[in-house]
């Protein structure tokens, strides 16, 4: 959808466009109610800032749809397609280390490890996973909130383009 179309769309169409980026009602409402946006960059900034911070329940609900980092995701859901597009290819050794790190993270924090994978190598992601295992639960909650917002902003910017941009 073009930015101009998003800015003028009826509420239901705007919600339908935004929801795949981050299915948290309070966040969706803030994005949709914040229209019109002057640019996709302004929309991305809003995606990072609105409804902050997300509650632990909101984060847990959103993470329920996220696959484990490094796992190859099958299926036709929007989340599966995003995951396949965003995660770098992973060799067997790194995949095994990520799987072990995921298990340790889930035991420590009782949630799936979330990181903005786009633009990062599998080795960078593994390093971040190992580093974040040293966080306190409170520190990690803040990092998860930020990572989820970064992912949402990227997905939203990909869904809403400016005139002449390829969809």
Note every long-range contact of 2-6, with CB atoms under 8 Å and residues 24 or more positions apart, other chains counting.
2/160, 2/161, 2/162, 2/163, 3/37, 3/39, 3/40, 3/43, 3/160, 3/161, 3/162, 3/163, 4/163, 6/35, 6/37, 6/43, 6/160
pLDDT attached to residue 167: 39
Domains defined for the chain, CATH in brackets: 3-159 (1.10.3330.10)
pLDDT attached to residue 39: 96
Instruction: Specify whether the CB–CB gap between 114 and 22 falls below 8 A.
Output: no
pLDDT attached to residue 87: 54
Q: Name, of 33-42, 61-70, 110-119, 154-163, the range with top average pLDDT.
A: 33-42
Q: Which of 21-35, 77-91, 108-122 has the lowest mean pLDDT?
A: 77-91
pTM over the 0.85 mark: no
pLDDT attached to residue 70: 77
């Amino acid at each position: 959808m073009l930015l101009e179309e998003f800015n003028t769309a009826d509420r239901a169409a705007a919600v339908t466009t935004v929801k795949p980026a981050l299915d948290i009602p309070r966040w969706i409402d803030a994005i949709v109610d914040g229209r019109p946006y002057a640019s996709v960059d302004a929309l991305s900034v809003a995606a990072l800032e609105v409804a902050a911070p997300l509650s632990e329940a909101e984060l847990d609900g959103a993470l329920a749809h996220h696959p484990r980092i490094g796992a190859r995701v099958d299926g036709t859901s929007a989340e599966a397609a995003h995951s396949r597009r965003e995660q770098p290819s992973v060799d067997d050794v790194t995949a095994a280390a990520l799987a072990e790190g995921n298990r340790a993270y889930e035991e420590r924090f009782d949630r799936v490890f979330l990181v903005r994978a786009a633009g990062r190598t599998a080795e960078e992601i593994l390093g971040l996973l190992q580093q974040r295992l040293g966080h306190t639960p409170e520190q990690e909650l803040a990092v998860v909130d930020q990572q989820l917002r970064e992912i949402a902003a990227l997905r939203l910017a990909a869904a809403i383009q400016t005139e002449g941009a390829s969809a």
